[in-house]
Chains A and B, each alone.
Chain A
Amino acid sequence: MSPVTTWVPQDAAALSVGADEVAAALSAAGAQVRRNGSRGLLWAEPLVEVESDAGRVGFAEVTPADIPRVMAVDTAHPGYLGVVDDHPWLSGQQRVSFARVGLVEPTSLSSYEEHDGWLGLRRALSMSRAAVVEEVVASGLRGRGGAGFPAGIKWRTVAERDAPQKFVCCNFDEGDSGTFADRMIVEGDPFTLIEGMAIAGYAVGATEGYVYVRSEYPHAVATLRHAIDLAYEQGFLGADALGSGVRFELYVRVGAGAYICGEESSMLDSLEGKRGEVRAKPPIPAISGLFGAPTLVNNVLTLCAVPAILASGGAAYAQLGRGRSLGTQVFQLAGNVARGGIVELPFGVTLRELVEDWGGGTRSGRPVRAVQVGGPLGAYVAPHQLDTPMDYEEFAGIEAMVGHGGIVVFDDTVDMARMARFAFEFCSVESCGKCTPCRLGSARGVDVMDEVLAGRNVEANLTLINDLCETMTKGSLCAMGGLTPMPVRSALRHWPEDFEKRAQREEVR
């Protein structure tokens, strides 16, 4: 009898809850163990799949003690999920960017090819550079890093510059709490990013690309470096990509623990070997970016959407989504949520569907009180707003933002005044210090919130907080200082009871 073939994720999230121990136990028990990325059902990690005649069947939250039952495909096991592809949590999604993640061995080039890898790059290289740019314009793709700027317009700006040297930089400094899609796609399917960058390099006329990865992601760094080495060996990167005569060199650079380097101009300064301080704009990086050269800066997910867009055409991608939010968004369910993980769907799904249907409500079982969408600089959304569709303009309409698609759920034990204080604290720790509203405003915000939390002069201090928020919003150089007021003000707007009459309330308790 041939040994049982099993799949155990090597994604950092799976490793953090014991995937390596499970893999070792499976090997010791005689199973063949293959390593994949995570299927995105992070609530089920370590999720072990066993190959069967019906397909890959899954078991959730496997420990070494479960191994005999898993290898015997015991359908009575409490973690038995059935055929993973048919599980409603996955089959209800529409995976475009994440199509291969969890299915393939991350650094297997043959597996990548079998699953439609390089189709986008091959098609791009058969087209003119300008036609590739227009394909991205037609897709309606907007920057997935948070700002939502139309990617095609940015590509066109760089492409039209006449310069001896241009660069493509991938912003992989995914520092927002509640976001992990960049990490998971690079750990689970790194060739997609490499392909997206090679296409971008060809389209805008850049011969060098840099991926700026945060140091908190060592597994992603290792996987990406390995994948780049393989891509060079097989001629997908280098002086003559795919024999087309097109040169594209790709390098990985690692950050050093600075949230602000997720801001594109700070990232460029860091890449240049400087302090990661924000640059004043203009000029925009597309005109004068890395070392002063025209530079295309895109987020990981933006670049990872590109191979599919080139393979199937921009028009097909633009069929998905709604309004001016086209294509799919990779939503990340996090925080106090029963079923956290990756949910890729076209724009237009409501926040309630994501939090309640996919997320299953809170992990604690208590009522949802607040949902922070779009990272630490995004608004806290109240329960009465949960029916808002995920759409850039709809979210702007409720003074919130979609951002990078991170969704952090809080139950009714959360103290929103403390979360407002934390927004200032985070900004004061991570501010680059270049502009005064951000550097001093955030520190002052912490001080004033401490007064509010102590119940001293609450009304006057809240007026001060509002003034401070206005100054930071209007006077900061970048989104760090400019958007820190967004979570603060949303907390004040929806949960004023957590701020007001604090001293008396504490006494009553």
Chain B
Amino acid sequence: MVADQAPATRRARTDVVRAIATARMTDRGPLMPILHDVMAEFGYIERDDVIAIADVLNLSIADVHGVVSFYTDFRTTAPPDHTVALCRGEACQAVGAEALYAAARAAAATGDYGPGTEVEQVFCYGNCALGPSGTIDGRLFGRLDEDRLTALTQEWRS
């Protein structure tokens, strides 16, 4: 949260964001690559980042905010410690993805995957012949089931 940060930290972050935006300025349509770079650097895009990017690119804050809020990948809060993302596309549903997703949500809610774990839905990883598919902290897995999810999340719980 912005309010919790010391002014010096906030200034440092804004400087980094401005440098990222400035480095991309000569690209055509640079906003998406800039937002990806900020995500890669900080894990999320906060209000002050939006203001800084808008200033560098000479866009309105609303324009930049509109883009940030349109795309699922752009977070505006700090990411969770661990993310389990499960595919709910039709191909994965054909092999039980809905039940797996429901079970994973329930498991995360009761803390079975440990604290700070978020379970989210994704539509398609292009792994449709080896479903159900999902990523665990960004790494792709196929032929998933409940036991495998429990085993794979064990790593950060032990």
- Are A and B associated in one complex? yes
Residues 328-348 of chain A, each 1 if its beta carbon lies under 8 Å from chain B, else 0: 000011111100110000000
A254, A270, A340, A411: the one contacting B129 at CB < 8 Å is A340
A367 proximal to B (CB < 8 A): no
Whole-angstrom distance between the alpha carbons of A419 and B91 in the complex?
11
Q: Contact between A332 and B33 (Cβ–Cβ < 8 Å)?
A: no
A217 proximal to B (CB < 8 A): yes
Partner-contacting stretch, out of B5-13, B109-117, B136-144:
B136-144
Contacts of B70 in A (CB 8 A): 258, 275-277, 432
- A256-B36, A422-B93 known; A42 and B124 CB under 8 Å? no
Q: Contact between A275 and B73 (Cβ–Cβ < 8 Å)?
A: no
Partner-contacting stretch, out of A10-18, A98-106, A303-311:
A10-18
- A175-B124, A179-B128, A334-B128 known; A258 and B90 CB under 8 Å? no
Q: Contact between A180 and B129 (Cβ–Cβ < 8 Å)?
A: yes
Contacts of A336 in B (CB 8 A): 94-95
Whole-angstrom distance between the alpha carbons of A139 and B5 in the complex?
62
Q: Contact between B129 and A273 (Cβ–Cβ < 8 Å)?
A: no
Whole-angstrom distance between the alpha carbons of A175 and B90 in the complex?
12
Give the B interface residue count (CB, 8 A). 40
Whole-angstrom distance between the alpha carbons of A277 and B133 in the complex?
28
Please give the distance in Å from B66's CB to the nearest CB on chain A: 5
A154 proximal to B (CB < 8 A): no
Please give the distance in Å from B50's CB to the nearest CB on chain A: 14
Whole-angstrom distance between the alpha carbons of A148 and B130 in the complex?
28
B74 proximal to A (CB < 8 A): yes
Please give the distance in Å from B96's CB to the nearest CB on chain A: 9
A259 proximal to B (CB < 8 A): yes
Residues 414-449 of chain A, each 1 if its beta carbon lies under 8 Å from chain B, else 0: 100001001000100110100000000000000000
Partner-contacting stretch, out of A190-198, A402-410, A455-463:
A402-410
Considering the complex, give the chain B residue whose CB is closest to the CB of A410.
B94
Q: Contact between A291 and B28 (Cβ–Cβ < 8 Å)?
A: yes
Contacts of A409 in B (CB 8 A): 94
Please give the distance in Å from B62's CB to the nearest CB on chain A: 11
- A16-B141, A174-B126, A215-B73 known; A273 and B67 CB under 8 Å? yes
B153 proximal to A (CB < 8 A): no
A17, A256, A432: the one contacting B32 at CB < 8 Å is A256
Contacts of A291 in B (CB 8 A): 28-29
B72, B94, B125, B130: the one contacting A42 at CB < 8 Å is B130
Whole-angstrom distance between the alpha carbons of A179 and B123 in the complex?
12
Q: Contact between A178 and B89 (Cβ–Cβ < 8 Å)?
A: yes
Please give the distance in Å from B129's CB to the nearest CB on chain A: 3
Q: Contact between B130 and A217 (Cβ–Cβ < 8 Å)?
A: no
Whole-angstrom distance between the alpha carbons of A406 and B94 in the complex?
14
- A178-B89, A178-B90 known; A332 and B128 CB under 8 Å? yes
Please give the distance in Å from A484's CB to the nearest CB on chain B: 13
Please give the distance in Å from A279's CB to the nearest CB on chain B: 15
Contacts of A174 in B (CB 8 A): 126
Residues 179-204 of chain A, each 1 if its beta carbon lies under 8 Å from chain B, else 0: 11011100000000000000000000
Majority-rule SS of B interface residues: loop
B30 proximal to A (CB < 8 A): yes
Residues 144-185 of chain A, each 1 if its beta carbon lies under 8 Å from chain B, else 0: 000000000000000000000000000000111111101110
B17 proximal to A (CB < 8 A): no
Whole-angstrom distance between the alpha carbons of A255 and B74 in the complex?
11
Q: Contact between B73 and A273 (Cβ–Cβ < 8 Å)?
A: no
Contacts of A341 in B (CB 8 A): 129
- A12-B140, A215-B73, A334-B91 known; A254 and B127 CB under 8 Å? no
Residues 42-76 of chain A, each 1 if its beta carbon lies under 8 Å from chain B, else 0: 11010000000000000000000000000000000
B30, B33, B73, B91: the one contacting A178 at CB < 8 Å is B91
Contacts of A6 in B (CB 8 A): none
Within 8 A of A (CB), among B16-46: 28-33, 35-36
Considering the complex, give the chain B residue whose CB is closest to the CB of A208.
B28
B104 proximal to A (CB < 8 A): no
Q: B residues within 8 Å of A by Cβ?
A: 28-33, 35-36, 63, 66-67, 70-74, 87, 89-95, 122-131, 133, 138, 140-143
Task: List 9 A-B pairs, minimum CB-CB distance, nearest first.
Answer: A340-B129, A177-B89, A273-B31, A257-B72, A335-B94, A334-B128, A256-B71, A16-B142, A256-B73
A sample of 27 cross-chain residue pairs with beta-carbon separation below 8 angstroms, ordered by A number, consists of: A12-B126, A13-B130, A16-B127, A16-B140, A16-B142, A16-B143, A17-B142, A42-B130, A177-B90, A179-B126, A183-B126, A215-B73, A256-B32, A258-B70, A258-B72, A272-B29, A273-B30, A273-B32, A274-B63, A276-B70, A276-B71, A332-B129, A335-B131, A340-B128, A406-B91, A426-B123, A430-B123
Q: A residues within 8 Å of B by Cβ?
A: 12-13, 15-17, 42-43, 45, 174-180, 182-184, 215-218, 253-259, 270-277, 291, 332-337, 340-341, 363-364, 372, 376, 406, 408-411, 414, 419, 422, 426, 429-430, 432
